[in-house]
Amino acid sequence: MKAIQLLKRMNTIDTYKRYGKIVRVVGLLIESKGPSTSIGDVCHIHLEKQSCTVKAEVVGFRNEHVLLMPFTTVNHISPGCLVETTGKPLQIKVGTELLGKVCDSLGQPMTGTIFSKGLSAVQAAGMPPNPLSRPRIQEAVELGIRSIDGLLTVGKGQRVGIFAGSGVGKSTLMGMVARHTSADLNVIALIGERGREVKEFLEKGLGPEGLARSIIVVATSDQPALMRIKGALAATAIAEHFRSIGKDVLLMMDSLTRVAMAQREIGLAVGEPPTTKGYPPSVFSLLSQLLERAGTDEFGTITAFYTVLVDGDDLDEPISDTARGILDGHIVLDRELAQKGQYPAVNVLKSVSRVMNSIVTPEHQKAAVKFRTYLSKYMDSEDLIHIGAYKKGTSKDIDDAIHYYPLIQAYLKQGEDEVVTQEDAVRQLIQQFGKGGG
The predicted model gives 292-310 an average pLDDT of 95
Between 276 and 295, the more confident residue is: 295
The predicted model gives 187-197 an average pLDDT of 91
Please determine, for residue 437, whether its predicted confidence score (pLDDT) is greater than 70: no
Between 228 and 12, the more confident residue is: 228
pLDDT digits (tens, 9 = 90+) for 325-365: 999 999 999 988 998 889 899 999 999 999 999 999 999 99
Please determine, for residue 88, whether its predicted confidence score (pLDDT) is greater than 80: yes
CB 264 within 8 A of CB 279: yes
- Residue spans per domain, the chain: 19-89, 92-357, 363-434
Q: Comparing 14-28, 82-96, 181-195, 327-341, which segment has the lowest mean pLDDT?
A: 14-28
Asked if domains 92-357 and 363-434 share a fold, the reply is no
Please determine, for residue 438, whether its predicted confidence score (pLDDT) is greater than 60: no
Would you state the pLDDT for residue 389? 84
Between 166 and 334, the more confident residue is: 334
Please determine, for residue 170, whether its predicted confidence score (pLDDT) is greater than 90: no
Please determine, for residue 114, whether its predicted confidence score (pLDDT) is greater than 80: no
pLDDT digits (tens, 9 = 90+) for 224-275: 999 999 999 999 999 999 999 999 999 999 989 999 999 999 999 888 998 8
Would you state the pLDDT for residue 406? 94
The whole-angstrom separation of Cα 368 and Cα 151 is: 6
pLDDT digits (tens, 9 = 90+) for 391-408: 888 888 899 999 999 999
By the 10 Å C-beta count (0-12 exposed, 13-18 middle, 19+ buried), 122 is classed as middle
The whole-angstrom separation of Cα 291 and Cα 107 is: 20
Would you state the pLDDT for residue 159? 97
Query: 102 in the Ramachandran plot: left (φ > 0), alpha (ψ -120 to 50) or beta?
Result: beta
Which CATH class for the 92-357 domain? alpha beta
* C-alpha to C-alpha distances, 5 to 1, 11, 226, 304, nearest whole angstrom: 6, 10, 42, 48
Q: Comparing 81-95, 226-240, 301-315, which segment has the lowest mean pLDDT?
A: 301-315
Would you state the pLDDT for residue 393? 82
Q: From the CA atom positions of the chain, what is the Rg in Å?
A: 25
3 state SS of 247: coil
Would you state the pLDDT for residue 14? 59
CB 426 within 8 A of CB 148: no
Q: For domain 19-89, which CATH number applies: 1.10.3470.10, 2.40.37.10, 2.40.10.170, 2.60.120.10?
A: 2.40.10.170
Q: Confidence class of residue 13 from pLDDT cuts 50, 70 and 90?
A: low
Would you state the pLDDT for residue 39? 92
Would you state the pLDDT for residue 119? 85
Would you state the pLDDT for residue 276? 80
> How does DSSP assign 48-113, residue by residue?
TTTTEEEEEEEEEEETTEEEEEESS--TT--TT-EEEEEEEE-EEEESGGGTT-EE-TTS-BTTS-
Please determine, for residue 117, whether its predicted confidence score (pLDDT) is greater than 80: no
How large a percentage of the chain has pLDDT more than 90? 65
Please determine, for residue 92, whether its predicted confidence score (pLDDT) is greater than 60: yes
Mean pLDDT rounded to a whole number for the chain: 90
CB 154 within 8 A of CB 351: no
Fold of 363-434: Substrate Binding Domain Of Dnak; Chain:A; Domain 2 (1.20.1270)
Q: CB under 8 Å, gap of 24 or more: what pairs does 284-287 form?
A: 284/318, 284/322, 286/229, 286/259, 286/260, 287/256, 287/259, 287/260, 287/319, 287/322, 287/323, 287/326
Q: Which residues contact 311 (CB under 8 A, 6 or more apart)?
A: 165, 317
3 state SS of 164: strand
Q: Which residues contact 183 (CB under 8 A, 6 or more apart)?
A: 141, 156, 248, 249, 250, 303
Please determine, for residue 18, whether its predicted confidence score (pLDDT) is greater than 90: no
Q: Which of 131, 104, 151, 113 is nearest to 331 (CA)?
A: 151
